[in-house]
Amino acid sequence: MGGVPGSLVGGDTAPYTGDHGSCPEEPAMHVLIMSFGTRGDIQPYAALAGALARAGHDVTLAVPSGFADLVQHAGPGTITHHQAGSTMLRLLREVMPELSGPLDALRTLRIMTSAMRELNAECWAAAQAARPDVLVYHPKCLAGAHIAEALGVPGVLSLPLPFFTPTRAHAMPFFGGASFGAWGNRATYGFRRAAGLMYGGMINDFRREVGLGRIGRLADPLRNPDGSPVHVLYPYSRHVVPVPDDYPPSAHVTGYWFPEHGDQDAWKPPADLMDFLAAGDPPVYIGFGSMGFGKGADKRRDAILAALRVHGLRGIVATGWGGITPGKAGTDEVLVLEGAPHEWLFERVAAVVHHGGAGSTAAGLRAGRPTLIVPFLGDQPFWGARIHALGAGPSPLAARKLGTGLADRLGDLVHTDSYATRAAELGAAIRSENGLAAGVHILEQLAGVAAVDE
């Protein structure tokens, strides 16, 4: 198979922005998409499923139950939901907030290991039912690459942050915005082998079950068994993280995968939200999703309400599932709700404050809203550093400093005009991209259903 056209990858080349409709003369393909996590983790892949179906392809979406309705409009291709990962997601939501010590953590680890094995088995069942031409898998689905190998089809790794492909331009995102120099930055990507080190036994058990041989714990997730590179789809914008000059042709920065407007039609805003938005100036959105796992939720709520009060700001506070304690705010200037689709809500607020998840960051920037990130873990400090470096918001505020630092940082966010100006510019640039079309185009080429540039 030849390489993907240069217009889709690398350095200063332009992103793919063409429209993509179904082409009756081209054979349809069947794509299996696997992802795991909360709504923000699943939504980009549901959006890709919708785009593939609109282009005439059939899709099997293997994700936890409850997320099948994220894609409302398909056709002429079909979308089939196959439940995968529901047990592990339930454990994350119900068990993690109750952990109180090392013994609880050890017991939970055993339960989680069982749930991970179940996720692997469910993904394999989905693959056997789908018999796909190409498989797209999030790295949280540990079996993804091995299922592709067992089926003999292209396996495409995908995640919305530059985590896997080594580069001199920046360190792996889990180091936040730190830089260790060109070679030091590149060296940090050795951590991409961590899943093999941690779960090598589980992975080899799965490989044996599907008829494959053992692999080493240090096997490179970016190399296929025959030595060819694994293609990676990175659904984020090059306007947010520029494409490094040393990225190989197998690394594709497509642009964000946002749901089509029609995919959101099923959600109807509640009356109290509509009334609140109509009652005054655009509010500030503050929400941290599941971050904190319930610990410190009362203190976060108090800090948020106090900071809004100091600056006389209207606010929408989204409690998520554990990030902030729910309940009435005690003032008409603040509305507390569980949540609302960011694509709908962020267009209607003045600024956003959140934990810096990849999906939340993307939605805020697409809406052109100045952003303050309060990172808790993982890649969130990286997105906080990117927001500040781009001039679209203040430097990130560490979650542990929320009580003492939020009021000052919130004032900086809403009173620095340059943040709003730069965020609006970024929003326009992001909206000009067509990440879904680029993703569909690459998958067609890898599956051999579209012409491939030699």
Q: pTM score, two decimals?
A: 0.88
Mean per-residue pLDDT for 305-323? 88
CA distances from 186 to 192, 197, 247 (A): 11, 20, 11
Average pLDDT of the residues of the chain: 86
CA distances from 454 to 1, 7, 444, 445 (A): 8, 14, 15, 11
pLDDT value of position 207: 96
Amino acid at 418: S
Chain Cα centroid distance, residue 45: 9
pLDDT in tens, 121-131: 999 999 999 99
Q: Lowest-pLDDT range, 21-25, 166-170, 328-332, 421-425? A: 21-25
Closest to 318 (Cα-Cα) out of 283, 286, 284: 286
Given a cut of 90, whether residue 191 has pLDDT beyond it is no
pLDDT value of position 368: 98
Given a cut of 60, whether residue 97 has pLDDT beyond it is no
Measured between alpha carbons, how far is 379 from 399 in angstroms, rounded to an integer?
A: 14
pLDDT value of position 296: 74
pLDDT value of position 107: 60
- Stated length of the chain: 454
Measured between alpha carbons, how far is 202 from 141 in angstroms, rounded to an integer?
A: 12
pLDDT value of position 202: 93
pLDDT value of position 10: 37
Amino acid at 372: L
* Domains of the chain, first to last: 6-256+433-447 (3.40.50.2000), 267-431 (3.40.50.2000)
Q: Lowest-pLDDT range, 113-117, 314-318, 402-406? A: 113-117
Chain Cα centroid distance, residue 353: 17
pLDDT value of position 79: 92
pLDDT value of position 450: 57
Given a cut of 90, whether residue 239 has pLDDT beyond it is yes
pLDDT band of residue 22 (cuts 50, 70, 90) is: very low
Of the chain, the percentage scoring pLDDT greater than 90 comes to 65
Given a cut of 90, whether residue 47 has pLDDT beyond it is yes
Given a cut of 90, whether residue 328 has pLDDT beyond it is no
